[in-house]
Amino acid sequence: MKHIFIINPAAGQGKCLDIIKPKIEEVCKKYNIEYETYVTKSGADGQRIVRERAASGEELRFYACGGDGTLYEVVNGAFGYKNSQVAVIPLGSGNDFIRLFGTKDDFLKLDDLVNGVPVELDVIKCDDEIAINQCSMGMDAEVCAMQGKIKKLPLVTGEGAYYIGCLYALLKKFKNRFRISIDDGEAFERDCLFCVSGNSRWYGGGFKAAPLAFPDDGMLDFIIIESKFGRLKLTSLLNKYKRGEHLEWEVCEFRSGKKLTIHSDKLAAVNVDGECKYVNDTTFEIVEKGITFVVPAKSEFLTKSRDAEIKERERLLKR
């Protein structure tokens, strides 16, 4: 198998390129690994090169060397090609998806990563885009769109940009009237802050939106937050939401399924793993075992019991 490292030169505010390339060379030579490095030239370049290489049919492992945006590109390029695996070297400001599998430092231990364990994970299909982590629609997606602009500023972290985006959305995008359907069931209408479809748990620089989601269980977690309180109350709840303490809120509807369909009469923001656009209609649908992801060799994800979390999830879904 050939290992191909897709490096975003802008990751880490452009400070990581000179550091990571020598480490890649050192580790690959140590384990006699056939490898290549590719430095992306534009926003969509990573997706293009991954798709082109994956289409060759050769057994390949692609490393997304950057943040969540680089992972989005590599996942969308590799999706549909069973000969391709996806790994992450976290160099960005968010790195939310990997939190379930270990710390940033765990993924930066390249010895454990090149000798990592491939696992089949579900993904979310949203029109012609693929998300490995989460999708959302509404105020939260408005925050994401604003966050993407703000975190490019000097000295602003992913988490800091998220809070600034929240302040903007509180003023501009507080309530959304959505018609929602789960698994093609009967549609219902809600005044929503936002709706999240979680394949994994964190987004927005550490906000635990889907605290009991597993990306390999064949289901998506749907979190619908209704707009039934004022802006001041929401501001006081942000830290609880960040910690994942919202599933029992009166304004939170927690459901599970394979497909979430949303209609908005007004254009509303949609977030697909940090890539944002405005639509009236969207669908978030699971693709089971849609990607092969490489987990570091010593990750607790591979051995830790899920029993307690599964029981808690079942309890909350029965509320």
What are 190-234's pLDDT values in tens digits? 999 999 999 999 988 889 999 999 999 999 999 999 988 777 787
Question: Picking from 131-140, 227-236, 294-303, which range would have the lowest pLDDT averaged per residue?
Answer: 227-236
Q: How many CA atoms lie within 13 A of 305 on its CB side?
A: 3
- Across the range 240-258, mean pLDDT stands at 96
**pLDDT number for residue 178:** 97
Over pLDDT 70: what percentage of the chain? Answer: 90
Comparing 190 with 15, which gets the higher pLDDT?
190
CB atoms within 10 A of CB 144: 26
pLDDT at 237 over 90: no
Q: At 149, is the pLDDT very low, low, confident or very high (cuts 50, 70, 90)?
A: low
Alpha-carbon distance 128 to 112, whole Å? 33
Question: Picking from 9-23, 261-275, 288-302, which range would have the lowest pLDDT averaged per residue?
Answer: 9-23
Q: What is the mean pLDDT of the chain?
A: 91
Domain ranges of the chain: 2-123+290-302, 131-287+307-317
229 contacts 251 by C-beta, under 8 angstroms: yes
Alpha-carbon distance 215 to 47, whole Å? 22
222 contacts 187 by C-beta, under 8 angstroms: no
Residue with tokens 């590719």: 38
Alpha-carbon distance 195 to 262, whole Å? 9
End-to-end CA distance of the chain: 48
Equal CATH topology for 2-123+290-302 and 131-287+307-317: no
Question: Picking from 100-104, 110-114, 123-127, 229-233, which range would have the lowest pLDDT averaged per residue?
Answer: 229-233
Q: What is the pTM of this model?
A: 0.92
**pLDDT number for residue 173:** 61
**pLDDT number for residue 13:** 65
pLDDT at 151 over 70: no
Alpha-carbon distance 19 to 91, whole Å? 10
**pLDDT number for residue 148:** 65
- Across the range 56-62, mean pLDDT stands at 97
φ and ψ at residue 221, rounded to 5 degrees: -100, 125
2-123+290-302 placed in CATH 3.30.1550.10: no
Domain 131-287+307-317 architecture: Sandwich (2.60)
Alpha-carbon distance 305 to 291, whole Å? 23
190 contacts 180 by C-beta, under 8 angstroms: yes
Q: At 49, is the pLDDT very low, low, confident or very high (cuts 50, 70, 90)?
A: very high
**pLDDT number for residue 174:** 66
- Give 19's contacts (C-beta < 8 A, 6+ positions apart): none
**pLDDT number for residue 140:** 82
pLDDT at 124 over 90: yes
- Across the range 156-168, mean pLDDT stands at 67
**Rounded to whole angstroms, what are the CA distances from 142 to 109, 120, 239?**
35, 31, 18
Q: With both helix axes pointing from N to C terminus, report the angle between 231-242 and 158-172 in degrees, rounded to the nearest 10.
A: 150
Q: At 143, is the pLDDT very low, low, confident or very high (cuts 50, 70, 90)?
A: confident
- Across the range 178-187, mean pLDDT stands at 97
In the chain, beta strands by DSSP E = 2-7, 35-39, 60-66, 84-90, 117-126, 129-131, 134-138, 176-182, 188-198, 202-203, 207-208, 220-226, 252-257, 259-272, 275-295
**pLDDT number for residue 204:** 81
